Structure 1
């Protein structure tokens, strides 16, 4: 795959080339090979070190094999190692996740991502084996998230927002301090709005103001390619309102603040008239001490940062018809 990529694209010297690995399926020799192929960033999947949680999700993975992969990456010259955790998993508890955080902090990765588990058994068959009774409550999930933010920041990591943490000298933390942080549908990035080309089944590309997704089965994917057709099955072109709302959500999620004047100038609107409904809805969060709204700025306050997704969702008109999805319990 890397050879094919090099044949068709010119890879920038010193660029960022990242790969996600499952520590259960790679060894030191594999990590060395990945480095030789040009990868210089690694994302290591963990989810949770708690044995009960691992058994519940059928992913048993020891701390030792995880640390071995992290150490091998560093010894092979990878300039950044990230660890991915998930909260909201079955049998997860605040105390158990606290122990996982302690072990992750001890491993000292450059970045840590803590994603919210989406339980959708109607869409994903393996999730049907999970008992609803084993799922943590919304309150427990909120406590876990709050604990994660506390533990990670106490350990010296910068809370980038929503689900990312980085060391102060990491590119993400520097970009946030300099106002250059960007977020796309894959997560936070140091790169400004740029085109994304996706290859493989179900993958999503972004080119200009458009998004498109590839077909979901391998047979259909190759059949279309063999017939000289791009394996795309759906797409969308953003309109002026989409672009406006995307810029607002981007600013809130990346910088925890929004300049009302800059939006009015860039999009030629009267902000308070255009978003009268959204501002009314935001008032509940203002009253709760999560957000401050004045004549010039919308600012996410410290206690609102872990709910920045819910705050940003106020400006997503596609979610407005489904009020249930805007509740904190669903976000958490």
Structure 2
């Protein structure tokens, strides 16, 4: 186990802190084009069957009963539950439209419901949605798959959790952010501890194989002491995975963030101190530091996959299922098929108009170039394996790595001098001190960074 002193170097974190992508894709969504030719997607879907790769389904359910002030997700805040009825019907029609483009004998081994708040749908609607997925695609038994759903404990009682398990869901992702009542009031997310504990108990009792919890540091009124209490409370609940995100304050993009008192947010120094305590507390409790802001118990599939070099990243973050073609369903959802990324219309009227016309709701996308493909592979290996083996890249892409990326290797010398990476003749290894800055290291290989507004990205620390 790495010590906190080997992982946490405040001088280097301050030096390298910058806005940058999280690399759930490369190129990032900022490179998606509005003039994208959907014929490229149709060809990719047609040709993808030859790869015999597995399929992944992502469903975006945008509705939320109340708004959390920190949130930057694509969402529709409404208390009108009737709005979910036509949306569900359109998602079912979209499933049929997508299925008509694919070889649907290919197994679905990964499925994720995100939002918004997926449990805005009631139990009957969730049953309908999963029945439609099984009608059009082959979902393998959940013992061989990862079927996950994001759950807001304020919207899901233990009965709902049991129902989700009967539908085949086997991994739960819970939003918590902070247990402190003062912080909860400041971010407009009142969520008593017992709500979260009840959901986690129900998930374990009904056989969920992994429970993941999201926390956020950098929110108003947080201190090292207050967040330490949240961590202690959370560790008593013992989730399998923890994501501890740094709050990204971007009120110019997300108007609701203006509702929070910026002067009450922790200073940069306090924010770093909170982060240090997070790393120290979780690693001492036995969690494996996966990288960036993710931690997992050593017995969790995420930690096991990283140890076996089979960890992957997609639009939901780290994943244990690599090489899946991803089909996005719902407003704003993103898909990846072969070398093509697509995104549906973000607004409900645009999404509805396309589906009602019997068409897919694809609004923008990008087809990767040969250069994109090799850089995507490099960035994925760095983010997931914390190392890059040059010979593997050379064999797959028929290049001489040192020649093709001479400029990047020159820029990486500064990272090596600071002890963040080790540069060998045939390998780049991210050292413990560089794990929190792996986004910065990956950014060296991103050829688009100078062409897009960096303020659209969150801070790396």
TM-score tier (shorter): over 0.9
Matches within 5 A, 1:1-332: 1-13=129-141, 14=143, 15-321=145-451, 330-332=459-461
Contact 1:325 1:331 in 2 (8 A): no
Instruction: Describe the shift of the 1:54–1:174 C-alpha distance in structure 2 as closer, same or farther (beyond 3 A).
Output: same
Contact 2:248 2:459 in 1 (8 A): no
Normalization by structure 1: what TM-score? 0.94
Residue ranges of structure 2 left out of the alignment (5+ in a row): 1-128
Contact 1:39 1:78 in 2 (8 A): yes
Displacement after TM superposition at 1:38 (Å): 2.0
Residue by residue, what CA displacement relative to the aligned partner does 1:104-132 show, whole Å, maximum 9, x if unpaired? 11101111112232222122221121233
- Please say which of residues 264-273 and 199-208 is displaced more in the overlay: 264-273
- Please say which of residues 15-24 and 84-93 is displaced more in the overlay: 84-93
RMSD: 2.0
Pairs aligned (count): 331
Displacement after TM superposition at 1:324 (Å): 6.0
Inter-partner Cα distance in structure 1 for 2:394 and 2:249: 39
Inter-partner Cα distance in structure 2 for 1:9 and 1:123: 37
Q: Which has the higher contact order (CA 8 A, sep 6+)?
A: 2
Inter-partner Cα distance in structure 1 for 2:225 and 2:373: 42
Question: SS in structure 2 opposite 1:198?
Answer: strand
Normalization by structure 2: what TM-score? 0.68
Aligned to 2:126: none
Displacement after TM superposition at 1:321 (Å): 4.4
Question: SS in structure 1 opposite 2:358?
Answer: coil
Contact 1:18 1:40 in 2 (8 A): yes
Residue ranges of structure 1 left out of the alignment (5+ in a row): none
Inter-partner Cα distance in structure 1 for 2:385 and 2:156: 37
Inter-partner Cα distance in structure 2 for 1:75 and 1:43: 16
Aligned to 2:102: none
Instruction: Describe the shift of the 1:323–1:295 C-alpha distance in structure 2 as closer, same or farther (beyond 3 A).
Output: farther
Instruction: Describe the shift of the 1:170–1:285 C-alpha distance in structure 2 as closer, same or farther (beyond 3 A).
Output: same
Instruction: Describe the shift of the 1:132–1:304 C-alpha distance in structure 2 as closer, same or farther (beyond 3 A).
Output: same
Contact 1:145 1:306 in 2 (8 A): no
Displacement after TM superposition at 1:325 (Å): 6.7
